[in-house]
Homo-oligomer: A and B are copies of this chain.
Amino acid sequence: MEHLEIFKALSNKTRLQILQWLKEPDKHFPNPHNNDFERQGVCVGYIQQKAGLTQSTISEYLSMLQKAGLLTSERNGQWTYYKRNEAAFKALSRIIKTDI
C-alpha cells in the first residue's frame, strides 16, 4: 500500500469506473445466476464486458488495483471474484487528510 502506487492505480478513467461499479455491483451488473455480489465480489468477465476493453487489459487493471490494496480477489473454481477493500479507502481518506 504505497501512496504513489495507489495514486497511479487511480489515475485511469476505466479503473476509477470499475471502482464505482463495484461499489454497487447489484446496480451495475446483470446477475443471471443470482450471485451474492456483495459478499463474493464480481468475476472478471462481467467487469470486462461492461468496460468494453479486452479481457487481458481488464485482468491487468484488476490486478493493479489489487496490488495497490484497493481490491481483494478470491478464486472460486474457474472464476476470480474481485470486490472493494473498503478499509483501504477509509485508510486512504485518512492518509490524504494527515499524510499528503
Chain A 33-63 interface mask (CB, 8 Å, partner B; 1/0): 0000000000000000000000000000000
CB-CB under 8 A from A93, the residues of chain B are 93-94, 96-97
- Determine if A64 is an interface residue (Cβ-Cβ < 8 Å): no
Interface size on A, residues (CB 8 A): 19
A11 touching B4 by the CB < 8 A rule?
A: yes
CB-CB under 8 A from A8, the residues of chain B are 11
CB-CB under 8 A from A94, the residues of chain B are 93
A7 touching B10 by the CB < 8 A rule?
A: yes
Name 17 A/B residue pairs within 8 A (Cβ), A-sorted: A4-B11, A4-B13, A4-B16, A7-B7, A7-B10, A7-B16, A8-B11, A11-B11, A16-B100, A19-B100, A89-B96, A89-B97, A90-B97, A92-B96, A93-B93, A93-B97, A96-B96
Residues on A lying within 8 angstroms of B by beta carbon are 3-4, 7-8, 10-13, 16, 19-20, 89-90, 92-94, 96-97, 100
